[in-house]
Structures are given as structure tokens and as C-alpha cells.
Chain A
Amino acid sequence: MSTTLEQPLAAPAQAVREQMNIVIVGHVDHGKSTLVGRLLADTGSIDPNKIAQVRAICDSQGKRFEYAFLLDALEAEQAQGITIDAARCFFQSALRDYIIIDAPGHIEFLKNMISGAARAEAAVLLIDAHEGVRENSRRHGYMLSLLGIRQIIVAVNKMDRVDYDRDVFDQVRAEYTEFLRQIDVQPAAFVPISALEGDNITDASKRTPWYDGPTVLAAVDAFAKAPPPEDQPLRMPVQDVYKFNREGDTRRIVAGRVTSGRFEVGDEVVFLPSGKRTVIESIEAFSAPTQTGARAGQATGVTMREQIYVSRGDVMCHPKTPPRVSNRLRANLVWLSRQPLRRGRTYKLKMATWSGLCEVEEIVEVIDASALDSAGHHDRVERHEVAEVVLRLRRPLACDLSHEIEETSRFVVVDGYDMAGGGIVREVLAEKADQGAVRWTAEVGAIDRTLRESKHGHRAAVVVLHDDLGENGRTLAALLEESLWQAATQVYRLNLLPDDLHKAGPGELQVRSISFGLIAGLVNTGQVVLVTVPWVDDLTHAESLRLPGIEAVPVVQVRFRAEGGEDEAEDDWVFDAARPPRAVHDAVKGRLLPLLR
């Protein structure tokens, strides 16, 4: 039997419920998972079968049932009794829906705690009343401040173990308030609780008659939902430029997410750091009504009045409210890798959609985040330390300062294959002449590149061909070498081979530098250098090749995709790997020759 006829044809319009991400942090064993399990159970947000299932597991292992096991659903965690990673779960209050992130308190798992907290809009910091303020209570408080989480409540847990003694609570509150004051954090409330017994979680407890503040649930409901930063200056980091002409779609769409501000069709915009200007022609979307504007938070795409070339990493903004453009930054960062951050070493930095190489110019101060003392060393930043550093970038980026606009002032540092640290930009610095390190330079002869170019009748250039799919790059490079040579072009082909390039660690970059030095030399003799590279990361982005001597010549990269569209950014040509090599050759040659004139 169907009940369709007994129900209204359409459900009554219901108010859309608000959603908020909150994180629970604190020292190991201070009771985070128990608090979350309690919140889930006491608000009726969890399937009773799940509780029964976890109870059965506890029984079979001869353990007392714990609310924490509802979250610590992973085998390893139940065996060890600690949270390894930031679990995500959902709970509902009368006011809104929460995605609650339970982050591990053990120091070993700080990177997981930060990954969890970085997604949160607000935080509950737990302190064990019995143990008092501990190392990670302070460290996590500091991390929340670094991550830009301003809405915090402090729950003083395990009050049952101190007989609900008001003096103990007051002492913890006083000590922690003083610590938070030093890092400029003001908690919205301190709540005395027992997660185990359920005091002051969802209902006010009779065992703390001296406390008249909110319960945890009430304090969490009192967090304000921060609106997307629409009133700040426009920032839309360019994610990609699409032209899906395979299916007859001729639109050239600049795609990105508006991270702050808003824009309308018809606005004049500038892309930084490239400095290109145009006017927004249209906003594109699939299966959606026509839009005349876009605002912070929206992932969108625009077409432009002039066909200017912009690429990933550029930030779209209004000409009157541009970000800063710089290649030297003063920043605060937290380091998460087992390999320390070292002064003088080169890393990859990623901010919004920009990525490029950076060198650690100076380690100004290393802070022990758990005590706010200086760690006393300046040549490195160890795992879990926080530092103030000066970073020098190989090429400029567009960014804001952390107190101005959040999204475009945050960055991560990648070491090898792994994200090794995260930071925020405090200040942009002027370019400074090299000091200290001895750098070798070479004097070159009187016949410079320009003279050679006029004798050859064409400009020098660098074409980087990616060779990671079926040797397309190498095949194409050989075809180009042959045909350019036949056309009286000074051309030199160089296949960089995997044996040299897949050495992990600092050596890898060094090998690259040597190869790049060779390329720079060839460019100075006026050659068109075809270089195939076997690796896949974006360090090979043509702009990373802007070494001395190369900056004045065209540098393009040619890449292949196994499936999907072909792109045609100014310096980044993407082809369908299935296209015959001869056809790709013709297309590349057709685009390259005008650049050599």
C-alpha cells in the first residue's frame, strides 16, 4: 500500500538549519572523546543500535562502557584507548546542526589536531580539573590562535574527581585566563563539567550550585555563525582556466572560489601578481539561473571581455583594493615534520592556489608553544615548534596580512611529498640585497644573448615538456627538434632523466638547479631549449624556471592529460595525451613560432 495519497503533495517549506563546525581540543586524557560521546548521546543524535553495538564490543573485551568508544570506532584506538585522528561526527541542538571534530590530544598527533582544528569555526578547549593546565592545554590554545579561531569556550572537566570544588575550578580558570591573555584570546565562557557523569553538558547540574553560567550545549549554541567575509576586499584566487572545446564549448572560463568580497558582471578587475586587467563579461554556471554577481564563499567561473591570459595563482581583485605583492614575507608558522625546518633550505610554499619555491632566509625566533618561552635556537625549527621566520620567494605572490584577510594570508610549506608546516603572513618585506652567503657569479663575454638572437633571426626560448604519460613529452620534443632545425632555428634538446631526479630530499632540488643552470647557459647562447622532465609536481611550472638569464625569454610548458580537456593558458599548454604526436607537434609549433619573432 502506498501512503502517497495520504500525504501532502509537497512537504511544507522548512527553515533550513544552520550548520557549524566545532572542534574539541585539549591535553591527552582530559576527556575530549567522552565529552563528544556524551553530547551525541544526550542530544539524541546517535543511533541507539550503535550504542548497543559499542557496548557489545566493550563487553566482549571485558571493558567498562565508555562514551568515547562511540567515536573511537577504530580498532587500533579502542585497543590503545587514545584518539589517533580527528574524527568527524554530527550532532544536533535545538538551534543548529554541528559537525563536531574530536581532535587527538596526544602530542604525537599534533598534525591531526591541527588538521581538525583548521576546519573549525569555534572550539571547546578541555582542561582536566584534577590535573590542571598542562602542556598541551597551552599548546592547543596557541594553535587555535594561530589558526585564527576566535570563538572559544573552556570546559573544566572531571569535576566529579575534585568533588565539584569551586576553588579548584576558580584556580584553573585564573591560571588559564592569564595564559590566554598573553596570546590575545578571550574565551566566551568557562564551564565546570563532568563528561563521565553528564554534569553541565546539556542540562545545568545540581552538583555545581555555585555555577550560574551556561552549559556546554548552551555555550556552544551561543557561538555566532561568522558570515562569509563579503564586506572585505574582493579576492578570487584563480584555480584554473577551462576551455572544453572537445565538446564544442568555446567559452574560456576563469574558475575559482571567491574567498572574500564580491563582484558584479561589468566590474573592472585586475589579476595579481601578473597585473593583467579586464572587465567581467559573464558569470558561468551549470544548471543554475543566470547570475549577475558572486560573493565570498562561492565557487564560480567568469568569462572576460578581453582574452587576457591569466593562470593559476593569480588573484582576481578590484583595482582600488589590491592585495600586497611581494617576494619576502615575515610569517609565523608551526612545524609538523620530523625533519626540522632549516635556515637556508628551499621548500615549496602553497598559498590559496599559488605555489612556488621559497627559501628560509631567517629564523627570527623559535617559540615553545606550551610555555611561550623562546626555544633558544635559530638555525632550525623542530617538529611541533612555532616560529617567526622570514621567507624569500623565487617569484612574487599576491597576499594579505593575517589580521586583514584570512584566506589569502595563510600558507603551507611542503617538504618533498609532504605538507610539513603551516603559517600566516604577518608582514610583507622589501627586497633586500644579499648578505652573508658568498655567491659565485661569472662574467660573460661581450657577445650577449641579444646579439646572438639578432644574428640567428629569432629569440631564445625554453619549452618544458612533461614526459610522465607514455613518453609523449620525449616523442614531441624529438619531432620539434627536427622540424625547428630544418627551419633554421638554433635548437637544443635536453631530456632530463628520472635517475637523477627522483632522489628524495635536498639533493633533488640541487640536481634541478644544476640542470636549470645548464638551461640558463644555453639560453644565453640564443638557443631554443627543449627540455623534457619526467616528474609530475608543479615545481616544474615554467615560472619556477625564472632563473637569472632566463627571465627575459619566453618560457612555456607543454603538458598532457590522459583524459579530458585541453587548456591554453599563456605559458601552460595542455594537450590530450591520445592526440597523435604529429598533430600536437603542429599545434605547439604554431604557437611557438610567434613567440620567437
Chain B
Amino acid sequence: MDHLDRLESQSVYILREAYKSFRNLCMLWSIGKDSTVMLWLARKAFFGHVPFPLVHIDTTYKIPSMIAYRDKLALEWNLTMVVGKNEAALADGMNHTRGRLTCCAALKTQALRQTLDGTGSRYRLMPDGRYYPDPNREPYTGVIVGARGDEEGSRSKERYFSPRGVDNNWDLDDQPPELWNQFKTDFAPGTHIRIHPLLDWSEVNIWEYVERESIPMIDLYYDRGEGIRYRSLGCDPCTRAVRSNACTPLQIIEELKTTNVAERSGRAQDQEDPHAMEKLRRDGYM
């Protein structure tokens, strides 16, 4: 077994434990490279099926081709696709000019919280390609998230199975022990567990696996002849492309070997405050 086989095996094991342990389980799919690899790993774990819904938190400011790619793959792969939004904040005209972190808190953190606990709007993609109100209003008790340990400081402290309190908060000062692939699957009513199958993967591993498995990745990650590509995807106004000529996974891997630029350097919210991500994540951000 090589290192990708080991990473795959551990992720598959974690996904199967999650499926066995939670009655109402979902996977967050941001359309980015990590959660798309995670979606592929779910198909590996369940022999071609994905037996839980994919949840996308749509800020409505995403790069438009992300939405088209999402719906195309969801229909092709027979996915249960659920989209959640903070409709109240959107009706109120929330956008990044009111402050990037304020906008993230409303359209991502708050939207996620409401979607997960069933109080916010959930829409489900039907075979006709349109979204209708989702009949499943139960709170999700298990939420699979594609966070990687090497992305930024606070994520490197995560557990594979990480409890969230009634307010979605992460008590990272008192995390439960986790050993020998025994995970926290017992939890009090009203709380839920975040599951992190990609914790051990690095950015390079993700692209190595995309290459090996020929995973159809959204083309924003590749240079399409303009000398730029995205390294991390987010909302259109707050995400910058990087200068790059890489147009295949192998070329991206080569580029990552020589770069010293942080993966999330194109994500404006991280630069607002040195502890921006930790603060967002303590409140329930992915």
C-alpha cells in the first residue's frame, strides 16, 4: 500500500463509521477540491452509492460556474443534493461590503447552523434539475466536513469525530480523547458531531489522488489559457485567482512543490484578522 492507499483506507473507514453511527447524516460539499475528493471517497466507501445527502451552503455570491458544476455532478452521480441559504440575511441585502467577517458570519456560519438544525431553508434537487423545499426537516446529528489538518492552525487541532455544542460551538479547549480509531459517537440531545475524513490529507495528496482516480474537478482550479487559476474556491468578491500556468493535476503538484505561498492566501477573510479562522470555527464555521 502506498501513502494514497493508506489515506484512502482511513477516510473510507471513517465514512463507514459515520454512516453506521448517525441516523441523520449529511456531507458538506463546498464544490471545492477537498470536499469533491471526499465525495469520491464516499463512493469508494459505499461501493458507488452515496447514502446520505450532500449539503451545499449557498451564499449566492459563489463563482457562477460552481453552481452549474454542482448540479451537473449531482444529477450524474445520483446524489441527494440539498442547498441551504440564510434567506433572511439575503433579503436584508447582506454582502461583503458590510465587512467580510460579518458577511461570512451571516451567509456561511449562520446559514450552516440553520440548515443543519432544520430551522433554516433547505432545498432539494429533483430529477427535473430544479430545487424544491426538502421534506427532511430533522436536525442533522452527524455532519461530514472536508477540513484538512494542514490548511491553517486551528484545523490542525481537530479530531476525526469532533463534537459541537447546542449553539454549534466548538469547545477546542476540552476536546474528547480519540484513540485507536474509536470515535466519539455518543452525544447529548441537541448537540451534533462533525466528522473529518480528510484530516490527514495535505494539499498535494488531494491533487495526487485527483490524478490517480481521474476525479472530474471543476475547471476553475486549472489555467484555461489566461495564466491564472484558483487555488482555493469561495465567493466571487472575496476570492482571487493566483498566477499559474498549471492546467493538469500533475502540473499543480509540480507547482505546489516549489511554492511558498499559503493555500488560502487568495481568501480575503483570512487576512482580516490573524485569528480570523479560529474565531469563525469556534462559532461553527467549517
Cα distance A152–B45 in the bound complex, in angstroms: 35
Cβ contact within 8 Å between A563 and B157: no
Cβ contact within 8 Å between B173 and A419: no
Q: How many residues belonging to B are interface residues under a CB distance threshold of 8 Å?
A: 79
Q: In the complex, what residues of B have CB within 8 A of residue A111's CB?
A: 176-177
The listed residue with most A CB atoms (<10 A of its CB), out of B10, B53, B153, B261, is: B153
Cβ contact within 8 Å between A563 and B136: yes
- Closest Cβ of chain A: how far from B138's Cβ, in Å? 5
The listed residue with most A CB atoms (<10 A of its CB), out of B156, B189, B227, B275, is: B156
- Closest Cβ of chain B: how far from A231's Cβ, in Å? 15
Determine whether B60 belongs to the interface, using a CB cutoff of 8 Å to chain A.
no
Which of A14-22, A188-196, A356-364 lines the interface with chain B? A14-22
Determine whether B150 belongs to the interface, using a CB cutoff of 8 Å to chain A.
yes
Determine whether B119 belongs to the interface, using a CB cutoff of 8 Å to chain A.
no
Cβ contact within 8 Å between A299 and B182: no
Interface of B is mostly: loop
Bits for B13-24, please: 1 = Cβ < 8 Å to A, else 0: 100110110011
Query: Which of B10, B23, B135, B213 is close to A536, meaning CB atoms less than 8 Å apart?
Result: B23
- Closest Cβ of chain A: how far from B232's Cβ, in Å? 14
Cα distance A537–B186 in the bound complex, in angstroms: 6
Q: In the complex, what residues of A have CB within 8 A of residue B274's CB?
A: 53, 56-57
Determine whether A4 belongs to the interface, using a CB cutoff of 8 Å to chain B.
yes
Query: Which of A247, A350, A563 is close to B24, meaning CB atoms less than 8 Å apart?
Result: A563
Query: Which of A87, A336, A559 is close to B157, meaning CB atoms less than 8 Å apart?
Result: A87
Q: In the complex, what residues of A have CB within 8 A of residue B78's CB?
A: 247
Cβ contact within 8 Å between A285 and B253: no
Determine whether B159 belongs to the interface, using a CB cutoff of 8 Å to chain A.
yes
Determine whether A522 belongs to the interface, using a CB cutoff of 8 Å to chain B.
no
Cβ contact within 8 Å between A287 and B43: yes
Cβ contact within 8 Å between B179 and A114: yes
Instruction: List residues 36-64 of chain B with CB under 8 A from any CB of chain A.
Output: 43-49, 51-53
Cα distance A559–B22 in the bound complex, in angstroms: 11
The listed residue with most A CB atoms (<10 A of its CB), out of B4, B10, B25, B178, is: B178
Cβ contact within 8 Å between A563 and B51: yes
Cα distance A147–B179 in the bound complex, in angstroms: 9
Instruction: List residues 36-58 of chain A with CB under 8 A from any CB of chain B.
Output: 47-50, 53, 56-57
Determine whether A588 belongs to the interface, using a CB cutoff of 8 Å to chain B.
no
Query: Which of A90, A118, A147, A255 is close to B150, meaning CB atoms less than 8 Å apart?
Result: A90
Cβ contact within 8 Å between B51 and A412: no
Instruction: List residues 149-204 of chain B with CB under 8 A from any CB of chain A.
Output: 149-150, 152-154, 156-157, 159, 172-173, 175-180, 182, 184-189, 199-200, 202
Cβ contact within 8 Å between B138 and A4: no
- Closest Cβ of chain B: how far from A260's Cβ, in Å? 14
Determine whether A438 belongs to the interface, using a CB cutoff of 8 Å to chain B.
no
Cα distance A98–B8 in the bound complex, in angstroms: 17
Q: In the complex, what residues of A have CB within 8 A of residue B247's CB?
A: 2, 4
Which of A70-78, A132-140, A442-450, A510-518 lines the interface with chain B? A70-78
Cβ contact within 8 Å between A48 and B260: yes
Q: In the complex, what residues of B have CB within 8 A of residue A19's CB?
A: 3, 6
Q: In the complex, what residues of A have CB within 8 A of residue B149's CB?
A: 88-89, 99
Q: In the complex, what residues of A have CB within 8 A of residue B154's CB?
A: 73-74
Instruction: List residues 208-234 of chain B with CB under 8 A from any CB of chain A.
Output: 213, 223, 225, 227
Smallest Cβ-Cβ distance to B223: which chain A residue: A2
Assuming A419-B178, A559-B23, is B152 touching A73 (CB within 8 A)?
yes
Cα distance A193–B204 in the bound complex, in angstroms: 32
Determine whether B121 belongs to the interface, using a CB cutoff of 8 Å to chain A.
no
Cβ contact within 8 Å between A412 and B49: no
Cα distance A419–B193 in the bound complex, in angstroms: 14
Which of A153-161, A237-245, A387-395 lines the interface with chain B? A237-245
Q: In the complex, what residues of A have CB within 8 A of residue B202's CB?
A: 90
Cβ contact within 8 Å between B43 and A286: yes
Query: Which of A89, A244, A416 is close to B46, meaning CB atoms less than 8 Å apart?
Result: A244
Determine whether B91 belongs to the interface, using a CB cutoff of 8 Å to chain A.
no
Bits for A380-420, please: 1 = Cβ < 8 Å to B, else 0: 00000000000000000000000000010011101011110
- Closest Cβ of chain B: how far from A218's Cβ, in Å? 22
Smallest Cβ-Cβ distance to B136: which chain A residue: A562
Assuming A90-B150, A242-B46, A247-B49, is B172 touching A115 (CB within 8 A)?
no
Known: A73-B278, A99-B200, A410-B180. 6 other contacts (CB 8 A): A11-B250, A11-B253, A257-B13, A298-B1, A422-B180, A560-B23
> Contact residues of A with B, CB < 8 Å?
1-4, 7, 10-11, 16-19, 47-50, 53, 56-57, 71, 73-76, 84-90, 97, 99, 111-112, 114-115, 118-119, 147, 228, 239-240, 242, 244, 247, 249, 251, 253, 255, 257, 284-288, 295, 297-299, 301, 312, 336, 348, 350, 407, 410-412, 414, 416-419, 422, 466, 468-470, 502, 536-538, 559-565, 577-578
> Contact residues of B with A, CB < 8 Å?
1-6, 8-10, 12-13, 16-17, 19-20, 23-26, 43-49, 51-53, 78, 80, 135-136, 138, 141, 149-150, 152-154, 156-157, 159, 172-173, 175-180, 182, 184-189, 199-200, 202, 213, 223, 225, 227, 245, 247, 250-251, 253-254, 260-262, 265, 274-275, 278-279
* 23 A-B interface contacts by CB (under 8 A): A11-B250, A17-B3, A74-B278, A87-B157, A90-B150, A118-B178, A147-B179, A239-B17, A239-B20, A244-B46, A249-B48, A284-B47, A287-B213, A295-B1, A298-B5, A312-B20, A348-B186, A414-B186, A417-B188, A469-B23, A537-B185, A561-B23, A577-B23
Closest CB pairs A-B (n = 10): A73-B153, A564-B51, A118-B179, A111-B177, A562-B24, A299-B12, A3-B245, A88-B149, A417-B186, A412-B182
